[in-house]
Structure 1
Amino acid sequence: MATTLLKIEELINGADMLRNLTVPELVEEAIQNGEGVLTKDGALSVSTGAFTGRSPKDKFVVQDEVSNNLVDWGKVNQPIAEEKFSALLDKVLDHLEKKDKLYYLEASAGADEHYTLPVRAITEYAWHSLFAKQLFLREWPTKGAFDPFTVIYAPSYKADPAVDGTNSETFILVSFAKRTILIGGTEYGGEIKKSIFSVMNFLLPEQNVLSMHCSANVNDANETALFFGLSGTGKTTLSADPERHLIGDDEHGWSPDGVFNIEGGCYAKTINLSRENEPQIYDAIRFGSLIENVVLNEDRTPDYKNISLTENTRAAYPIEFIDNAMLPSRAGHPNTIVFLTADAYGVLPPISKLTKEQAMYHFLSGYTSKLAGTERGVTEPQATFSTCFGSPFLPLAPERYADMLGKLIEEHDVDVYLVNTGWTGGAYGEGSRMKLAYTRAMVNAAVNGQLRDVETMKHDIFNVEIPVAIEGVPSDVLNPRDTWNDPARYDVEAKALAMKFKENFTRFTKASESVIAAGPLVI
Structure 2
Amino acid sequence: MNTLEFTTTLNELVTRETTHQNLPVPVLVEKSLTRKEGILTSTGALRATTGKYTGRSPEDKFIVEDASVKKSIDWGKVNKPFSPENFDKLYKKVLQYLGTKEELFLFKGFAGADQEYRLPIQVINEYAWHNLFAHQMFVRPNETELASHESQFTVVSAPGFQVNPADDGTNSETFIIISFEKRIVLIGGTEYAGEIKKSVFSVMNYLLPEKGILSMHCSANVGNEGDVALFFGLSGTGKTTLSADPNRRLIGDDEHGWANTGVFNVEGGCYAKTIDLSKEKEPQIWNAIRFGSVLENVMIDDDSRIADYKDSTLTENTRAAYPVDAIPNIIQPSVAGHPNTIIFLTADAFGVLPPISKLTKEQAMYHFLSGYTSKLAGTERGVTSPQATFSTCFGAPFLPLPATVYAEMLGKKIDQHNVQVFLVNTGWSGGEYGVGSRMNLSYTRAMVQAALEGELTSVETVVDPVFGLHIPTHCPGVPDQVLQPKKTWDNPEQYDIKAKELAAKFNANFEKFKSVSSEITQAGPLA
Q: Give the secondary structure class of the aligned counterpart of 2:516.
A: coil
Q: Give the secondary structure class of the aligned counterpart of 1:41.
A: coil
1:489 maps to 2:494:
yes
Identity %: 61
Counterpart contact for 2:345–2:426, Cα < 8 Å: yes
Deviations 1:71-96 (A, max 9, x none): 10011000111111111111111111
1:346 maps to 2:346:
no
Alignment of 1:107-506 (within 5 A): 107-139=109-141, 141=145, 148-297=152-301, 298-370=303-375, 382-506=387-511
Shift in CA distance, 513/486, structure 1 to aligned 2, threshold 3 Å: same
Deviation at 1:33, TM superposition (A): 0.5
Shift in CA distance, 142/39, structure 1 to aligned 2, threshold 3 Å: closer
Deviations 1:297-330 (A, max 9, x none): 1210101011000110000000000000111101
When normalised by structure 2's length, the TM-score is: 0.95
Counterpart contact for 2:56–2:381, Cα < 8 Å: no
Q: Give the secondary structure class of the aligned counterpart of 1:83.
A: helix
Which shows bigger deviation, 371-380 or 361-370?
A: 371-380
Query: Which residue among 47, 64, 67 is the counterpart of 2:66?
Result: 64
Shift in CA distance, 224/46, structure 1 to aligned 2, threshold 3 Å: same
Which shows bigger deviation, 133-142 or 72-81?
A: 133-142
- Consecutive unaligned residues of structure 1, counting only runs of 5 or more, are none
Q: Give the secondary structure class of the aligned counterpart of 1:282.
A: helix
Counterpart contact for 2:236–2:376, Cα < 8 Å: no
Structure 2 distance, partners of 1:155, 1:372, is: 23
Deviations 1:447-479 (A, max 9, x none): 111112221111111011111111111111111
Counterpart contact for 2:219–2:252, Cα < 8 Å: yes
When normalised by structure 1's length, the TM-score is: 0.96
Q: Give the secondary structure class of the aligned counterpart of 2:9.
A: helix
Structure 2 distance, partners of 1:85, 1:370, is: 31
Deviation at 1:65, TM superposition (A): 2.5
Structure 2 distance, partners of 1:372, 1:108, is: 31
Counterpart contact for 1:117–1:146, Cα < 8 Å: no
2:108 corresponds to: 106
Could you list the runs of 4 or more consecutive aligned residues of structure 1 that deviate by over 4 angstroms after TM superposition?
Answer: 140-147, 370-381
Deviation at 1:158, TM superposition (A): 0.7
1:507 corresponds to: 512
Deviation at 1:487, TM superposition (A): 2.2
2:43 corresponds to: 41
Which shows bigger deviation, 483-492 or 245-254?
A: 483-492
Pairwise CA RMSD: 2.0
Counterpart contact for 2:317–2:379, Cα < 8 Å: no
Q: Give the secondary structure class of the aligned counterpart of 1:113.
A: coil
Deviation at 1:7, TM superposition (A): 1.4
Deviations 1:382-402 (A, max 9, x none): 321111111110000001101
Counterpart contact for 2:54–2:317, Cα < 8 Å: yes
Structure 2 distance, partners of 1:11, 1:377, is: 35
Deviations 1:210-263 (A, max 9, x none): 000001000111100000111221111111100000100000001100010000
Q: Give the secondary structure class of the aligned counterpart of 1:131.
A: helix
2:93 corresponds to: 91
Deviation at 1:29, TM superposition (A): 0.5
- Consecutive unaligned residues of structure 2, counting only runs of 5 or more, are 1-5
Matched residue type, 1:385: F
Counterpart contact for 1:27–1:127, Cα < 8 Å: yes
Counterpart contact for 2:8–2:96, Cα < 8 Å: no
Deviations 1:337-364 (A, max 9, x none): 0011111211111100001111111111
Structure 2 distance, partners of 1:108, 1:356, is: 34
Q: Give the secondary structure class of the aligned counterpart of 2:86.
A: helix
